Amino acid sequence: MTTPIEPEIIQELEGVEAPEVAAVETEAVEAAVPVEAAAPSSSRSPRGRDSLRGRSPRAGARGNRAPRERGEFEQVTIDARRVARVMAGGRRFNFSLVVIIGDKKGRVGVGLGKGVDTALAIDKATRDAKKHLFTVPRTATGSIPHQVSAKYASSTVEIIPSRGRGLVAGSAVRTVLDLAGVTDVVTKIHTRSKNKLTIARATVAALKKLRVK
């Protein structure tokens, strides 16, 4: 059963004009528009941050970076040891490394470094090798002027020039002579010791005895 609408309510509804309602809806829409328009500007992109800070994006900086130059000396690690010490709280480990550096043009050096990690030990060994750099006298063919031999600790090394033989050597002797740029020699190690540090230093002592005739 439908309830009849009273005449007073009908008159009140008819008294509301449509333009007023439309004006209210228009104001609501206009108030909402600036909020929606400001949303995209509030979002930040990496490129926008870089432009505000006055620098170019990282991708462009990497593309313009110059290639890294190669070092003057070549570096070879011939021996690496881990040394343990027994302390009250347990065992502590240190590393000992032997590094040889050279430019293959006559300059060579042997260094020893010790540290709590390998990176620190290599850095110390490289600096020690640079402190002990020396120049090897060579002939026009890259050989040595005369035969030499030297002893360091329990290692004895002999170096003999031999034309056209190339580099005939082993162990640490070969590494030292190769980085020094010496060729056409034959070497002999007169020792049973396998200590590469003493062999390398015996080789350096022999090379320091060379004199140009």
SS3 76: strand
> Residue 89 — pLDDT band, cuts 50, 70, 90?
confident
Assign residue 54 a region (left: φ > 0; alpha: ψ between -120 and 50; beta: otherwise).
left
Beta strands 167-168 and 185-189 are parallel
Assess whether pLDDT exceeds 70 at residue 35.
Answer: no
Identify residue 164 by its one-letter amino acid code.
G
Residue 111, phi then psi, degrees to nearest 5? -135, 150
Per-residue tokens: 138: 């060579």
SS3 185: strand
State mean pLDDT over 175-183: 94
Residue 3: its pLDDT value, please? 53
Assess whether pLDDT exceeds 60 at residue 117.
Answer: yes
Assess whether pLDDT exceeds 60 at residue 14.
Answer: no
Assess whether pLDDT exceeds 70 at residue 22.
Answer: no
Per-residue tokens: 179: 């980085």
SS (H, E, C) 36-58: HHHHHHHCCCHHHHHHHHCCCCH
Residue 204: its pLDDT value, please? 95
Residue 212: its pLDDT value, please? 81
Assess whether pLDDT exceeds 70 at residue 148.
Answer: yes
How far from each other are the two terminal CA atoms of the chain, in whole angstroms?
134
Residue 110: its pLDDT value, please? 95
Least confident segment among 30-34, 62-66, 84-88, 187-191 = 30-34
Q: Where are the alpha helices (DSSP H) in the chain?
A: 7-15, 18-42, 46-53, 58-63, 118-131, 171-180, 196-207
What are the boundaries of each domain within the chain? 74-207
Whole-angstrom CA distances from 68 to 9, 25, 64, 108, 181 are: 89, 66, 12, 23, 25
- Mean pLDDT over each residue of the chain, to the nearest integer: 79
Residue 72: its pLDDT value, please? 82
Residue 160: its pLDDT value, please? 95
Least confident segment among 55-59, 84-88, 182-186, 205-209 = 55-59
Cβ-based neighbours of 51, under 8 Å, separated by 6 or more = none
Q: Span 74-207: which CATH code?
A: 3.30.160.20
Looking at per-residue confidence, does 150 or 37 come out higher?
150
Task: Give the residue carrying structure tokens 């005739």.
Answer: 213
Contact 188, 203 (CB under 8 A): no
Residue 191: its pLDDT value, please? 87
pTM to 2 decimals? Answer: 0.65
Closest C-alpha among 160, 139, 152 to residue 211: 139
> Residue 156 — pLDDT band, cuts 50, 70, 90?
very high
